[in-house]
Structure 1
């Protein structure tokens, strides 16, 4: 019989090696993505004294972007490296919280460490090499799970419920999707029914407290309750199309298949769950964690959305494994882990290749765009990466109405009515077709950028 524990240490070591390689290349190659450029531009304007929502049109909640922008507290001349360091620290802190949760679920240190490292590896390979809001939201969710384990153990119930609600609220204030954790926690309380009203009130107080404090701040800015609710629910920008996510992208089949292989051990969950010694309410709570996380895929299936799913698949697997009377042959478990680690190695090699290529393209494009549109200009980018908003310190054509929102959400007429004399409109070929009928309003120039033509319009 194969002894799995020494192999778990080996698998952890392999994952750590590839995590180290990815992180090294993150700092070696600047790779600012579409979303990252958006977040950093908003963070820059926040720390320059503009108020989130009222001065800056934005459909996200402020906490994650506020944390991303922390380097601005120390210097106005921040570098991308400083912000990505903050992001990496949040991912690592999230893995630490996951480790503590897994230890409380009675798993061994080796197993808990392996899955905590696996969480980091999957996160990095699913858009974690660039700055995203999901790890910030997940961090507070994991704090919430940690406190909620006290309720499962009937320890410090009321204070733990308040802290659980507080952390769920903070996860929501990082990104609205973070609120899905209310489903498993709420269902558990309803099934247990012990002091139900009192417990629901404490959970609700925890959720409401950060939202109420933020509302008090916004009332001082003249914002009423209806406006505030619209802001925190993602209605901070008046869009012509869509709801702000998943409008033009196709189904991410490759990402889904890769994720399934990287977490192939989930195929063992039904076997362990069938013989688990968990109570019905506890079993449902842990099953609902990944199920509720799947709700984010209703809107889109970007790679970074998988960052919400990863920790809860891991938690469900570990808790069923540690509480089950089912004894599968060690080779089955080991085989699943080998496949997962092998997939992560493959994805890491692919990610490293993409880091270098995307950085090369970005730096080359930066020189081209800066030559035509000087730093500090007022610009609207139509499917040219918002990374240029941040890297070239571009200003929004209307910070409080348009902000740095992606172009597919607006009609050309909306943008044209917002532009002022001397403002730039940078268009890809597809967007040029939408704007060329209005060409007499602009000075025009065509340049070649990567593998396409780019059109520079300057408002007359």
Structure 2
């Protein structure tokens, strides 16, 4: 036991120091969020849909949105009590999920033979990493991860108990119903059951109960939306699985996807989460032994989470990768090589330094965007008051929520990002009497020759937005 990472007084000091640094980083993100309450593009998109759902709209029937709806229904709950719920309260509501993620991840680590103090260490690593990976925004990924971890913890504790597998399958569905990528853990679950079942017949029954758990809520929701909302079964399935967007003239996500971009984003992830460099050590055999079943299971979980990068590689997508990367890393502890523990210490220090650097950059980002939104909101509302039918082409989709603008065509446009649609598709979908906010280089396109120029506005330049200047035009169809 002398080789364990925290066995000596020196290692204990290192452990406690890291815990303190992780706590400071998490508190730092809480500080900048509530000091400068503001939202980005994705958050504004989700919150405006949540606001509309609280106003009585039906997700599948009324809105064109390629995502799964569960999290947006969850985010809609505060608006049932107060339509004017502010950003600070919404962030409180959104951040409550992080202690729950930490709790279930802590429980999952116990299955992989991780001692209590190390479980706390890696739980805080996860939460810190996810805040660094855009987790200080209001997004879908935290709920996907929570439901995945609940499903995983049930599976690991109850193994082949068929009724509990039914429950685990339900939580896999909830992860999928939060965002379609949540289903990518299912192959690893089936591998786990194959190893735990004592014969093929038992495995097939266990797999069947897991799948039935997934299908029960799918079936019930299908009945509701088909029988009570009037959708066809085909339309419901296409919307739920994003098929209609995949086969149509829209993108679900991953605008500008390229292999070069993927490689660059993976490198950035390595810099933000250097622990992943340790993963190849799993494949180094010790005394001719192959990786254990637990190690192979952890690798399948990681591979499943990585498969979402086939579609896109935004920073927040890596929130669903970090927990499974950590699980693979902790499997290295079973090898008890002192050099690996020293490597872990070095990576921990590197991770802390980079995380503080990212916190500082995000502090500056939140400060700037808070100032810009505070200035731009009244300017926009002076021309386009709340509840107007507006499509935001050249400014952030955050203003849909901040200014409470409605989509000009919920069924076709919804709140789609401009990069997801052609400009011809957008203008054709605008209804008579609705507005579009557009930059000057677009205002003179032939598609808008019959539109009326209502006003020109000068907005404070938005963070990371590629505008030649801050002047925009408001056009009316």
TM-score (norm 1): 0.91
Q: Which residue of 2 aligns with 1:144?
A: 151
Distance 1:266 1:131 in 2: 26
Q: Say whether residues 1:366 and 2:370 are aligned partners.
A: no
Is residue 229 of structure 2 the alignment partner of residue 228 of structure 1? no
- Alignment match, 2:298: 286
1:334 is aligned to 2:345? yes
Is the Cα contact below 8 Å between 2:459 and 2:472 reproduced in 1? no
Aligned to 1:181: 185
Q: Which moved more, 1:358-367 or 1:52-61?
A: 358-367
**Corresponding residue number in structure 2 for 1:295:** 307
Q: Of the candidates 18, 22, 26, which is equivalent to residue 15 of structure 1?
A: 22
Matches within 5 A, 1:396-407: 396-407=407-418
Tell me the distance in 2 between the aligned counterparts of 1:31 and 1:304. Answer: 17
Specify every segment of 5 or more residues in structure 2 that has no aligned partner in the other structure, as ranges: 1-7, 462-468
Alignment of 1:382-401 (within 5 A): 382-401=393-412
Aligned with residue 350 of structure 1, among 352, 361, 368: 361
Q: Can you list the C-alpha shifts for 1:332-377, whole angstroms capped at 9, x where unaligned?
A: 3321211122221221122112111121122222232222222221
Residue 408 of structure 1 is matched in structure 2 by: 419
Q: Give the superposition deviation at 1:173.
A: 0.3
Q: Give runs of aligned pairs for residues 201-220 of structure 1, distance below 5 A.
A: 201-219=208-226, 220=228
Residues 5 and 50 (structure 1 numbering): CA distance in 2 closer, same or farther, change over 3 Å? same
User: How far apart, in 1, do the equivalents of 2:26 and 2:246 lie?
Assistant: 40
Distance 1:253 1:78 in 2: 40
Contact 2:407 2:414 in 1 (8 A): yes
Q: 1:58 aligns with which of 44, 57, 65?
A: 65
Change (3 A) 1:249 1:280: closer
Aligned to 1:244: 252
Q: Give the secondary-structure state (helix, strand or coil) at the position aligned to 1:354.
A: helix
> Does the 8 Å contact 1:444/1:455 carry over to 2?
no
1:166 counterpart residue number = 170
Contact 1:184 1:284 in 2 (8 A): no
Choose which of 284, 295, 320 in structure 2 pairs with 1:308.
320
The answer to whether the Cα contact below 8 Å between 2:245 and 2:251 also exists between their aligned partners in 1 is: no
Q: Does 1:377 align with 2:388?
A: yes
1:26 equivalenced with 2:29 (yes/no): no
Note closer, same or farther for the CA distance 1:192–1:97 as it changes in structure 2 (3 Å cut). closer
Which whole-Å CA distance do the structure 2 matches of 1:74 and 1:288 have between them? 42
Q: Evaluate the alpha carbon distance shift between residue 78 and residue 317 of structure 1 in structure 2; reply closer, same or farther with a 3 A threshold.
A: same
C-alpha distance in structure 2 between counterparts of 1:269 and 1:237, whole Å: 36
- Corresponding residue pairs, total: 455
CA distance in 1, matches of 2:164, 2:290: 21
Q: Does 1:442 align with 2:459?
A: no
Q: 1:35-73: CA deviations, max 9, x gaps?
A: 111111111111111111101221111111111222123
Structure 2 Cα separation of the partners of residues 186 and 242 of structure 1: 33
CA distance, structure 1, for counterparts of residue 257 and residue 365 of structure 2: 20
Q: Aligned equivalents of 2:87 and 2:276: distance in 1? A: 36
Which has the larger displacement, 286-295 or 105-114? 105-114
Q: Quote the offset at 1:93 in angstroms.
A: 1.3
Equivalent pair of 2:250/2:421 in contact (CA under 8 Å): no
Q: Distance in 2 between matches of 1:443 and 1:375?
A: 19
- CA RMSD, 1 decimal: 2.5
CA distance in 1, matches of 2:300, 2:50: 34
Which of 422, 429, 448 aligns to 1:418? It is: 429
What corresponds to 1:456 in structure 2? Answer: 473
> Displacement, 1:142?
0.7
Note closer, same or farther for the CA distance 1:383–1:141 as it changes in structure 2 (3 Å cut): farther
TM-score using structure 2 length? 0.88
CA deviation after TM superposition for structure 1 residue 382, in Å: 0.7
> Is contact 2:408–2:434 with CA below 8 Å preserved after alignment?
yes
Give the 3 Å change call, closer, same or farther, for CA 238–362 of structure 1 in structure 2. farther
In 2, Cα distance between the equivalents of 1:146 and 1:267?
A: 26
Give the 3-state SS of the residue equivalent to 2:316 in structure 1.
helix
- Write out per-residue CA displacement over residues 410-456 of structure 1, whole angstroms, 9 at most, x where no aligned residue: 233333333334311101345436x4552233225333333424433
